[in-house]
Structures are given as C-alpha cells and as structure tokens.
Structure 1
Amino acid sequence: MPTTIDSLLRDLTADDRSVWRAAEDRLVALGIPAVDSLLPYVSEGGPSRLKWGAESVLQRLGDEALPRLREIRRQGPGRLRGNALKVLVNLGGAEYLDERDRSALERLVRIKLMDERPVRVPSEAGRWLAFPADRLDDALAALGLHDLRPATTAMGVAAATKATDSLEFQDSQGKTRTAYRVFITPAFETWLEELPIQNWRLLWGNSFIDQLDGFTLADKLSERCGEAHFYVVDPYNSAENWYVARDGHGVRSFGSYDHPRFQGEPLPFEVEYREDADEDEAEEYAEGVPYARTAADLISVEPGRMPASGTHGHGWLATTHPAVPNSRFKGALPLS
C-alpha cells in the first residue's frame, strides 16, 4: 500500500492532466488509508501541483476523512496535527472541531490581539463601509448582524474578502436563504482635528456589500449612526465611487461611470481642493474630488497601514443571521 500511495503522490505532480486526475481518483478510492500520506503536503511549503492535488483529494473525501483527522488531532502523530486542524476547518468550518480545539483557537486569537499593532487593511482595491466608531451597537442593529467574535485584522480581512463569506441555508420555514460574514475593523483615528467625528470603524464583506448594495447599506447605517460612507476602488475597471449618507439619505457622491458623475452639493474639502487647484488641476477638480481614497482620507480614514497610536480596540467577525454562526463558514484563516 505505501508504494502505491507514493507512486500516486508522484503522479499528482505530472504535467499530463489525465495522469494527475487519475491519481486523484485512485487516492479518493483508497479513502482513509491515504489521509496520513496527503496531510504533509497541505502546508504552504510543498510543490504547488502536489499541494493542490492533496487538498483536492481531502476535500473530495469530505466527511469520510473526519474520524481520522480528529484522531490525529487527539493522538498524533505530532507532525500532522497542525495540518489536520487546517483541513478540518477547510472541510466544515470551526463546527468540525471538538470543544478543546475551538477553545484553543479562541485563546490563540485573544493572545494575538494583545500584540496586534500596527494593523493593515486593503488599500489597493476593494469596497468598504465606514461609520462612527462609537456607534457600533447601532451599526449592528442597522445591518442585522449577529454572533460577534473577536478577530485579528489579518483574520477578518481574509474572512470577508478571500475566504468563503456567504452560504446558503434552510430557514425554519424550509426556505433557502443566504447568510453573509463580515469583518468590522478596530476603531481608527482621523488625522484632521477639525472633523466632527474623530474615530471610525470600517466594514468589509465582499458578498454582503455586493448583494445587499453598498449604497443602501450606507443609508441604513447613517439612519442609526448619523453618518456613514461607502467606498469603491476598482483598478480592473478603472472605476472609483464614494458616497456620503447622513440621517438615512445620500448627500454627496461620485462615481466614475455615473451620469452625472457627481451628485449633491460639494463638501467643504472639495471646495478647498477646487480653490487651491493650479492651472493643470483646474479641470480635474472643477466639479469635486474624483478619488475614493482621497475622500476617505479627508472625511473618515483611508485604508492601508494604520498607525498603532491611532488604532483602538480590536476587530470583530459577524454574520447576518442568528441561525448561521461564524463557525459554519469554511476555510482556515490567518491570525497574523
């Protein structure tokens, strides 16, 4: 058997698609005896083709592999315990872990949070909401969020932008619905002392924002929190949007492909840009500021590397339905 498995593992690295697909099929057919041999290659260090093949086989084994994975977590061998944990979370989320492992992960998150400075949130691309940091409870109520769990920023950003951030489920009436996972950042200070709101939290959640519409979400947030913003930076389509809502209604917005591109009366910072523009910039700022990051920098906070001195508290993971906790979402998340 070991010789057979070893040869199949070599075949997983083959350039010929038919060879590695056949090797995957045979390893799946072998079932539990293949698990221990596949686990070493789940870590980041192995050859890409072998890593992908091993993960694919374990994913296809699914629930069949659970007893052995849990046995490894409890009894070893020690060199496989870490990868067994990763596979368990990838297969079914934290729900697939036993109570001891869940408690250990929660402790590890708390430890990481004690030394999580400075933090970084994506700045090159993305879409996010911003709301006053001291209105967290109002924001949760406005967006219908549940199951708040402390999370490091690296963990939260991955959960809301890279890992599985939506899943379908059956509600109590048997209707198929979709739940989303979002990340709410620590509180970040603005650098402009004259702004009325000095601390902001950002909310990330690609599927949540895309499906429930970021503009509508900003309106809901502002109705409960007084003010909220929605930002989009989309280099692929050479597009940017920024939107300011107050007391439930939009007051100013810019969209690269909107018609007209600006709506609402210019905000004070835009007036300053227009007044200070030189001859080369006059046309660029004639109607207002057409850059989402610039707007964020001057009316809330611009994403990127956040100074440790201006970061307060920690981030939170949350979901949009009480019947779907964070533990239901699949995928191992980085802690730092």
Structure 2
Amino acid sequence: MDLFEALATGDGYEREAARVRLTAGGRTAVRPLLDELLNVNSPVKPWELERLLLKWIPEHAYDEVLTALAATRDEESRRRLSRVFSSFGTVDRYIEALSHPAASVRQSAAYGIQSACSVDFGREPNPDVDYAVLIDTLIPLLTDPDPEVAQRVMWVLTMLGPGALEPLRRVREQGPGRLRAPALSVLAALGGEEALSAADRAAVDRLIRIKLLDDRPRSLDVCFTSWIAVPGGDQRGIAELLGLYEARPATFELGLEVGAHDSHDGAEYGRVYVTPEVDGWTLVLGPWCSPTDEERAEEVLRVVTELSSRYGRAHAYYFGEQGGGSGWLIAENGTVVRRCRGTWSDKDAAYGLGDPLPEERAAFEESGEEEWADFAPYLAPELAAALAVSPFDLGPDTAVRGAGFVALTPYAREHGRPSSGAYAI
C-alpha cells in the first residue's frame, strides 16, 4: 500500500507505520509531505500532514515551509502553508522572519507571534519571550508596504498587553512621523481613550469638530440595532429625560462605529449615540434602547412613555438582521399603544402590549397567518420607516439639523464606564 494511501485509509497499525516511514528521512521527508499537503486531491486530511511536519520533524520543516511560503503564488497553497508556518511557535525565528522580503512570510510570522504571545482573554504571557524586544520589532511594521501585514501587526500589538503602551506613547511624542498615526490607532484599541495623552485626546476632539462641519448622514446598520426615536430636535431635553451625561460631539461615522462596538460581543448598555435631527426626528442608538431585551425592556418602556408625554410620541425598536428578530414599542401622549417582539422565541408573547398596529395588520394580511411567525422578525425597519425614521435609511439626502453626540447612560454610573477602542471618525 502507498504510504499516503495508508495514512488516509489504513487501520491504526498501518497509519502509525506510515507516519514512521514518512518522517524517517528527516529533512528529505519534508518536501514529499509538503507536496502532498499542497495537493488538493490528496486523500490525506491536511491536519494529518500538518501534524507530521509540526510534531514529528519540526526542526527540519521550518526552513522548507518558509521557503515554500515565500515562493507560492496561489491563495489556497498560501493558506495551507501559512497555517503550518504560524503554528511552529518559534518566536525568535518569527522575529527574524518579520524582515523577510516576502509579505506572505511577514504576515504569517506576525500571526505566529500572535498565537504564541497573545495575553488576550486572560492568557498568561509566554515566559520564554522578551516582550519588550518583540514590541520594538513589531512597531516599525505598522507602516509595512503590504497593508495586510500592517493590519496584522496592528492586531498583534493590541494583544500583547500593557507593555506596548509606553513604546507606542514614545512614538507619538518622538516619532518617526510615519508611525505616529498607526501608533495612535493601536493605543486607542489597546487601552481606549484612557491610553491617550491629554494632547492626543484634545487632537481627536479637534478633528471630530472639524469633521462635523461637513458631516453627512449615513446608514446606521450595526447588525444588532436598537434605537429610540423622538420627533423634533430637542437633543438636550431628550438627554436630560434619559439621564445621559458626558456628551461629546460625534460624526455619523463615529456613531456607527460606537454602535457596532457596543452591539457585538455582548450588549454594552453604558453608552449611546444621539443623532442630530434627521428628517424631523432624533434617534438614540445603542443596546440600552432595546424595547424587548430581557434586561432592558421595562426600563425602556418607562422612558419611552415619559418621552411621549413630553413630545407627543416616542418609539423604540430592535432589529437583528442576522436572524436576531425584531421588537417595537410605540407610545403616544404618555400611553403605550403597542409593544411586540418577534424572535421565534416562546417568550415573545410575554412582551405583547396593546393591539396590533394598522401597519402590523397589513403586514399580517400580506404574509398570511402561516408565514407570520417568520415575517414578524424582519418587520422593525419597515415599521420604523413608516411611522418615524429608520436608521437604516439615512443617507446623503436626509435632512439634518444640528450635530450628533455620544453620551454615557445611567447604566454606566452603576456598572462602570464602557470599554472603548479605535473608531473611525
């Protein structure tokens, strides 16, 4: 039986014997194993070949894999070789490879460093690595001529812990100039606004104010979107009633970035983006606004009712475009008109208040009773567009008055300030 065929289809004894024979040649065994790994029609599972290279003959395989990775041109081969190369765990050699002329090698070396050295999610630092040397080697690659390498290095630096803060601050203060902008982004991603110097925070505030001069609306689609809609443009009054504080000017782009950050990886209730007046309405965007979130529903019911007492009407909506369902809450003159949740959950009925809206009834008739359960989870944007303003429909032609801002919510007073990161402005 052919050794690769035995490795793919043999019994336990035959596979083990094939592994021994395939790797017995040491360095001379690497090339046949790589050829088989790159053969998309091979009967052997790629992970089996990767294991032989990484666990059985790593001391012979590293240089051969690096050479093959540098020479390959097709994407599938590059992907397979990169997966092997970044799994050796040899940080010292990865540091050497960061200066390799092939971008594919530099990118894979950076990913190998990420895998071996990241302290994210509570992982302990690698005791065999001098993180100061590693960080000093990575920082110049923030302006690597290959954008994928530069992006990977940026991600890696955010995962190496607080030891990266001071070297990045030195770059901000002393240069070189080409590294100052990416260093600022990494600082923000690594430690949030608190990681920036007072001068940098002031510079960011100035940039936001400059951008606001010609800021134009854009769709505020953040996958899991929750918002409150209030007629008119009384931002100050809305913020006061909602208990918002520490308001800071924000462009539509910044509001979108904050909303996206706060809506993923667990809902962040401590912050919202308040739009300027858009087509006659003010929108408050953030998970804190969800009318049908199990933790927030009753509080949102209260504040939307109070808003409607002051402004005549107020709405709240939720929409999860990746199958997350819909929710809507309509209040007028201090009275709840309707609350509904459509998420395919047996808990949906518990959120029902009031009679279906005329728009709901029309949608029900259009979809039919049998299809309603699958139609309702996608209804929130349509209702918002019909009854108020949908954040998904904002664009250059939207009528705007004033400027938006980001603010903290009462939740942040009790549970701490939300984490922040590097956001587009």
- TM superposition score category, shorter chain reference: 0.7 to 0.9
Give the TM-score of the pair, scaled to structure 2: 0.59
Gap change, CA 1:200 and 1:4, over 3 Å in 2: closer
Q: What is the TM-score of this pair, normalised by structure 1?
A: 0.73
Q: Which amino acid aligns with 2:300?
A: L
Letter in 2 for 1:185: T
The answer as to 2:156 corresponding to 1:56 is yes
Q: Would you say the 8 A contact 2:248–2:407 is kept in 1?
A: yes
CA contact (8 A) 2:107 2:148 kept: no
Give the AA of the match of 1:33.
Answer: V
For residue 136 of structure 1, what is the aligned residue in structure 2? Answer: 235
Match of 1:39 among 125, 129, 139: 139
SS of the counterpart of 1:47?
A: helix
Deviations 1:190-241 (A, max 9, x none): xxxxxxxxx2122222366457514531431331443321212234336222
Q: For residue 384 of structure 2, what is the aligned residue in structure 1?
A: 296
Higher relative contact order (CA 8 A, sep 6+): 1
Larger Rg: 2
User: What is the Cα deviation at residue 147 of structure 1?
Assistant: 0.4
Who is 1:200 aligned against?
A: 281
Equivalent residue, structure 2, for 1:171 = none
Q: 5 Å matches for 1:1-336?
A: 5-7=95-97, 13=108, 21-22=115-116, 29-42=129-142, 46-47=147-148, 51-52=151-152, 55-62=155-162, 64-122=163-221, 125-162=224-261, 180-189=270-279, 199-206=280-287, 209=290, 210=293, 212-214=295-297, 216-226=299-309, 227-237=313-323, 239-256=325-342, 257=344, 258-259=348-349, 263-267=353-357, 269=359, 273=362, 290=376, 291-307=379-395, 308-320=397-409, 329-335=419-425
Q: Is the 8 A contact 2:227 2:283 kept in 1?
A: yes
Q: Which amino acid aligns with 2:323?
A: N
State the shift of 1:304 in Å.
2.1
Please list every run of 5 or more consecutive structure 2 residues that lacks an aligned counterpart in the other structure. Answer: 1-91, 100-104, 119-124
In structure 1, distance between residues paired with 2:335 and 2:295: 16
Please state how far the C-alpha of 1:281 moved relative to its aligned partner: 5.9
Shift, 1:179, TM fit:
6.8
1:97 maps to a residue whose letter is L
CA deviations 1:223-270 (Å, max 9, x no partner) are 144332121223433622221123554211332243389642344555
Query: As a proportion of its length, which structure holds more strand?
Result: 1
CA distance change for structure 1 residues 302 and 114 in 2, over 3 Å: closer, same or farther? same
How many Å separate the matches in 2 of 1:333 and 1:232? 23
What is the CA deviation profile of residues 111-153 of structure 1, one whole-angstrom value per residue up to 9, with x for unaligned ones?
1111112422118652222123334233223322110001011
Deviation per residue, 1:162-211 (Å, 9 max, x gap) = 259999xxxxxxxxxx971111122111xxxxxxxxx2122222366457
Contact 2:229–2:283 (CA under 8 A) maintained in structure 1: yes
Deviation at 1:21, TM superposition (A): 3.2
Separation in 1 of the partners of 2:367 and 2:93?
70
Give the superposition deviation at 1:310. 1.3
Deviations 1:8-64, CA, capped at 9 Å, x for gaps: 6758716997x863466669932333334323555796437x8446533443231x2
Which residue identity lines up with residue 206 of structure 2 in the other structure?
R
Aligned partners of 1:331 and 1:235: how far apart in 2? 24
Whole-angstrom distance in 2 between the partners of 1:123 and 1:86: 21
Number of equivalences: 305
Higher helix share: 2
Q: Aligned in 2, Cα 1:75/1:28: closer, same or farther, shift over 3 Å?
A: farther
Percent identity over the alignment? Answer: 28
How much does 1:72 deviate?
0.8
User: What residue identity is the alignment partner of 1:223?
Assistant: E
Distance 1:91 1:15, change over 3 A: closer
Q: Describe the shift of the 1:58–1:33 C-alpha distance in structure 2 as closer, same or farther (beyond 3 A).
A: farther
| Distance in 2, Cα, partners of 1:164 & 1:274 | 28
Q: Is the 8 A contact 1:219 1:246 kept in 2?
A: no
CA contact (8 A) 1:109 1:150 kept: yes
